Amino acid sequence: METTLTIPLLLHAYSIGVFPMAESRNSTEIHWIEPRQRGIMPLDGFHISRSLRRAIRRQDVHVTINQDFPSVVQACANRDETWINDAIFQAYLRLHRAGHAHSLEVWANDQLVGGVYGVAIGAAFFGESMFSKQTNASKIALAYLVDRLNKTGFVLFDTQFTTPHLISLGGQEVDKDCYRRLLSDAIKLEADFCDKRYCADPVEISQRNTQTS
């Protein structure tokens, strides 16, 4: 039986540490996932290499939020193996229209070259997926995202799992019990992803926890 991914169901699932995935693009079955080891990105521990710092300071791309949410999700799904089926795609569009899901886009010459999207509840941001069509585009997206989360009141950045890419940027794993405590505290707080007072400063972003490599 196909699961109906309503907005209340999705928000409740995220609030207790569970998220949906499909086995493939064409699968109609939804699986609810709660990893034993949860990936998080400490908001005070994002690592920026010298090469990424230079890429940010060149300012040859520009970054927006919520300008093209559907295209970001579609680009994340546009790979040989994906957990984003049509039901999940449509569900996140509904979450976005309701103000619960957000995208951050990286543009070069008016072309979408990178981005990330996720769900916000309280002061927790649940990163869903990211993509890159240009060198460093996904890293730039994450650097700008971490800066925004830090400055708009968020205290938890959930990446669901860890990958070598995320670990190189400061990602960590915590066990399920630790994650549940972090989540419980975060969703009780308030944050505003779209806070109009936020202003991205590329120089400041590039200096955050800079590495020597």
In a domain, 1, yes or no: no
Beta strands across the sheet bearing 124-132: 62-65, 101-108, 111-121, 124-132, 156-160, 37-40, 172-175
Q: In this predicted structure, what is the pLDDT of residue 137?
A: 96
2 confidence band (pLDDT: 50, 70, 90): low
* Comparison of pLDDT for 211 and 144, the residue scoring more: 144
Distance CA(138)–CA(117), nearest Å, equals 11
Q: Please choose, from the candidates 81, 80, 60, 84, the residue with its C-alpha nearest in 3D space to the C-alpha of residue 72.
A: 84
Largest CA distance in the chain: 52
Q: In this predicted structure, what is the pLDDT of residue 209?
A: 61
In a domain, 211, yes or no: no
Across-strand partners of 101?
119
CATH code at position 21: 3.40.630.70
Task: State the pTM of this model.
Answer: 0.94
Answer yes or no: are the C-beta atoms of 30 and 21 closer than 8 Å.
yes
Asked if pLDDT for residue 184 goes beyond 80, the answer is yes
Domain containing 158: what range?
A: 7-206
- How many domains does the chain fold into? 1
80 confidence band (pLDDT: 50, 70, 90): confident
- What are the backbone dihedrals phi and psi of residue 114, each rounded to the nearest 5 degrees, phi first? -170, 165
What does the block give as tokens for 41?
Answer: 């990105």
In a domain, 213, yes or no: no
In a domain, 30, yes or no: yes
208 confidence band (pLDDT: 50, 70, 90): confident
CB atoms within 10 A of CB 29: 13
Asked if pLDDT for residue 213 goes beyond 60, the answer is no
